[in-house]
Structure 1
């Protein structure tokens, strides 16, 4: 009989202990564990394909949809808007207040009015980055192109 080396013996004993602990016969297949609960749903945000440029007010209004997923807490939207107007970059930042993500309110629409930092937003193509923040630590964002249309005041 050949002598067994200690590292090989230790590895074999560890494998045998694992098999015994799991209650498996040697050579039995191990199935992947199944989830007893559905996978967590992540928050999501989207931006509508069009917004409105109010040249007189130097603002733009952007809208979209949000979905809290499984997150619950105080929630708001941060919106960065950028546009190239007559060779100049016009940018702005604003908020969309949506309140809170609760068991009763898990999705909906948002609106943000963004003042221009300098210059004014005009009808035409623009790019927005919208972030859904659910306190204390959930953040999801999207960057999308949209078209700003002329703002038509309601009479």
Structure 2
């Protein structure tokens, strides 16, 4: 074996040993859990009110502060698309409240949401500077009017 290769091999083994030692050392730093958000597979569409209501779950992770959900909803229709924007208020992420469910009613910008496939982009914002986002498909189910 050439001396250069032996040196590289020795350096590589030393690096691996150091990384393994640091990873297994007692009291090694563990990354704080990140905030998460998800969207339910189904929502409701109210064609008369021109709105859709969707929901999901959130987890604050290690973040603490005022928290809310921003939702962009889009749906393809025959001649174009319907879009809307809304908020879900969840209050605050505290030591006692770190996860839960959310709902948001989204008014359509123009037209009306109908039953069928749609796409939602939901953002969990924990003030002052934490943001996590997901874009997920869902199905809107028509809301039956009560008589």
TM-score (norm 2): 0.81
Please give the root-mean-square deviation of Cα atoms over the aligned residues, in Å.
Answer: 1.6
Gaps of 5+ in 2: 1-16
Moved more, 30-39 or 76-85: 30-39
1:1-155 superposed matches below 5 A: 30=18, 31-32=21-22, 34=25, 35-153=27-145
- The answer on whether the counterparts of 2:22 and 2:28 sit within 8 Å (CA) in structure 1 is no
Alignment coverage as a number of residue pairs: 127
How far apart, in 1, do the equivalents of 2:29 and 2:76 lie? 48
Gaps of 5+ in 1: 1-28
* Bigger radius of gyration among the two: 1
Aligned pair in 2 of structure 1 residues 104, 154: CA closer, same or farther (>3 Å)? farther
TM-score (norm 1): 0.77
> How far did 1:37 drift?
4.6
Runs of 4+ in 1 over 6 A off after TM superposition: none
